[in-house]
Amino acid sequence: MEKNIRSIMEYLCRTKSFDRITFSRRREKTEPDTLRETAVLFRKQNISYVQIETRYADGKAFHRNLPAGDAAEILAGMAEHEYRQTDIHTPVGDCEIRFSKKNECHIINRIREEDGAPVLHGHDRPHRYLLDPETDAAASFLFPLGITDEHGRILDKKRPKYRQINRFLELVNDVVEELPREGTLRVLDLCCGKSYLSFAVYYYFTKMRGRTVSMTGIDRKPDVIAACNDIASSLGFSEGLSFLCMDLKEYTCTERPDLVLSLHACDTATDLVLSRGVAWGAPVILSTPCCHHELFHRMNAPSLSFMTEYSLLKQKLSDAATDALRCLWLKRNDYEVQVVELIDPEETPKNLMIRAVKRKTPYPPETHESFDREYRDACELLGCVPFLEKETV
C-alpha cells in the first residue's frame, strides 16, 4: 500500500479490513483530559459502522458511531491533525503513523492488500485483547504460566487473570508516550509474585513494540522466583528478563528505572513500591494496591465514629483513605496522579490502579504548600501518620 494517511484510511474503510485503530499522544490538551481514541468496526441491521471510543484520564469513555463510508475523512483528520501517533491493526499486517516534535510524518506500513473483506460482527462481538493466545509468541509464555492449555485455549478458571493482564497492558499502552523513545527500557516489577505481569509487559515491549528491555522482577519467595527464572530461560527471555529473590528493602537500584510496576502488593508493600519508585526518580509508576490493613488498625478518628463503629464501613473507609493519601503523597513529590479501574469490580474488589507520571517541571511552591496542608489535615482527621510518610530509602 502507498504511504499516504488519507489513502490508508480510505482503503481500510472501503474494504472494512481493520481490527482496531488507536490514536494516542494528543497534540493539544482537552478538557477533560483525553488519553486516547480507538476505532473499531461493527455491523448493525446489515449496515457497517465505525465506532470511535474516546477514553478520558478519569476512566470515563464516550462512544460515537459513524457509517463506514463516511468515516475515512474523520479518521484521517484525527491522524493528521489531532494525534501524534496512530497504530492500525489489521488481519493482514499493521501500520504505525508518527509525527515528530518538528511535525515530520513517519509511516511504517506493513498492511498487505488482499481481495475480500473480513466478516463484521454486531455489538456482541468478542472483545479483542492485546494478548492473543492463538499466536505462537503469546501462547509461549501463557502456557507455562498456567493461563492456557498447550493448544492456546484460555483455561476457564484463568479467564479473570487473562482479562486482568490485558487490562494492565492497555494501561501500560496509555503511558508509552511518557517513556524514553529510544535505547533500552528499564522496567522493575516489584513484589512480582508469580510474575504474570512481568512476562506480559516484557512480551508487549519486546515482541509487540520491538523495544530492547532490561526488566527485573523482585519478590521474597525462593520457589516462585526460581520457577520464574526457569520459565524466562526456557522462553529465551532471560537476556532481558530476570528475577531476584530478596526483600525489597534490601534492593539497590543502580540505574534509574523508566517504569516501576506492582500488581497487588499487600498492605504496606505498596507503600514500599511507591517510595522506592519516587526515590529512584521513575518517570512512570503503575501500582494496584491490595489488603489495606495498616490504617484500619491505627486509625483514631472520633469525628468519623459514625462510620468507624461498623467494621465493614471502617474497612471501606480505610481502603479509600489509604489510597487517597498515597495519591496526595505522590503529588507532593511532583507526580501527576490518576486512579483508574483495573478490572470489573465483580471479578475482584481490588480493582484500582494508581497511575503516577513524573512532571517535567515541579509544581510551583504555592501548590506544594497546598498539598502539604491538605496532607497534614487528612492525617490529623484520621489520627495517624501513614507508613508511607515515615518510610525512607
**Residue carrying the nine cell digits 523513545:** 181
- Domain for residue 247, yes or no? yes
Q: Specify the number of domains making up the chain.
A: 2
| Shared-domain flag, residues 178 and 82 | no
- Domain for residue 39, yes or no? yes
Preceding omega of 91 cis (within 30 degrees of 0): no
- Is residue 248 a contact partner of residue 177, using CB atoms and an 8 Å limit? no
| Shared-domain flag, residues 214 and 72 | no
**Residue carrying the nine cell digits 515491549:** 205
| Shared-domain flag, residues 141 and 92 | no
| Shared-domain flag, residues 166 and 289 | yes
Determine the pLDDT at residue 120: 41
Determine the pLDDT at residue 138: 63
- Domain for residue 20, yes or no? yes
- Domain for residue 347, yes or no? yes
Range of the domain at 30: 5-109
Q: Are strands 241-245 and 213-219 parallel, antiparallel or unpaired?
A: parallel
| Shared-domain flag, residues 86 and 140 | no
CATH number of the domain bearing residue 335: 3.40.50.150
* 200, containing H or E segment: helix 196-203
This prediction has a pTM of: 0.69
**Per-residue tens of pLDDT for the chain, all 393 residues:** 446 899 999 888 888 888 889 999 888 887 778 888 999 988 877 788 899 999 887 777 888 898 888 899 999 999 999 999 999 988 777 888 988 888 888 888 888 765 444 434 444 444 567 777 666 556 678 888 888 887 778 888 888 888 888 888 888 988 888 999 889 999 999 999 888 889 999 999 998 888 999 999 999 999 999 999 999 999 889 889 999 999 988 999 989 999 999 988 887 889 999 999 999 999 999 998 888 888 888 899 999 999 999 999 999 999 999 999 999 999 999 999 988 887 655 555 566 889 999 998 999 999 999 999 999 999 999 998 888 876 654
pLDDT tens for 319-343 read 999 999 999 999 999 999 988 887 6
| Shared-domain flag, residues 173 and 105 | no
- Domain for residue 117, yes or no? no
User: What is the distance between the alpha carbons of residues 219 and 195, in angstroms, rounded to a whole number?
Assistant: 9
- Domain for residue 287, yes or no? yes
| Shared-domain flag, residues 281 and 356 | yes
Determine the pLDDT at residue 113: 66
| Shared-domain flag, residues 260 and 343 | yes
| Shared-domain flag, residues 202 and 103 | no
- Domain for residue 175, yes or no? yes
